[in-house]
Homo-oligomer: A and B are copies of this chain.
């Protein structure tokens, strides 16, 4: 059996990564969506092991020391990280793994796992991204403008990703991610080893 592969999905805030990943998972039975560990308090409705693995700071620091994270970072006083264990177990079972992480996280994972495939989700245009952020209605104008500037900075990182998926419609974006995943399973390394079995 072929081992699973790891696929990293990044993209600017408001681009619709979460929606794509959710729709993608419904089309792929043998795919594992990585759940991050965090030291922040669970919010209402969040379940341990589903939305996050909720652990305390002491445990998180101990896991850092054991090199148990593929990537981690600290945001406003809380730690967030991707535990290696579940990712590796899924790949051993032959499942592909989806990591929905940011550009900094992707850089860390790529350094440890150069064979991880990187996908950056972009809006069809800046106007569409701005409109989507406005439609959310959660940000002040100032915060919204900051998000847009940050998105343009992040897009510069996108050129180091293997693939860019345009989130015009969710269906089309999911079709592209599925194509990328299938194509990456057609790489000679994996297939030559299967053929010589």
Interface residues of A (CB under 8 A from B): 119-120, 122, 125, 155, 158-166, 175-176, 178-180, 182-184, 186-189, 191-192, 195
**Known contacts A125-B195, A195-B122; is A164 also within 8 Å of B188 by CB?**
yes
* Chain B residue at minimal CB-CB distance from A156: B192
> A165 contacts which chain B residues (CB < 8 A)?
186
B residues less than 8 Å from A195 (CB atoms):
122, 125, 155
In the complex this chain forms, how many copies of it are found?
Answer: 2
Which chain B positions have C-beta within 8 A of A187?
Answer: 162-164
Residue pairs across A and B with Cβ atoms less than 8 A apart, 13 shown, are A119-B186, A125-B195, A159-B192, A163-B187, A163-B188, A164-B187, A165-B186, A166-B191, A175-B182, A176-B183, A179-B182, A180-B183, A183-B184
Residues of B near A164 (CB, < 8 A) are 186-188, 191-192
Find chain B residues with CB under 8 A from A188 CB: 120, 158-164
Contacts of A120 in B (CB 8 A): 188
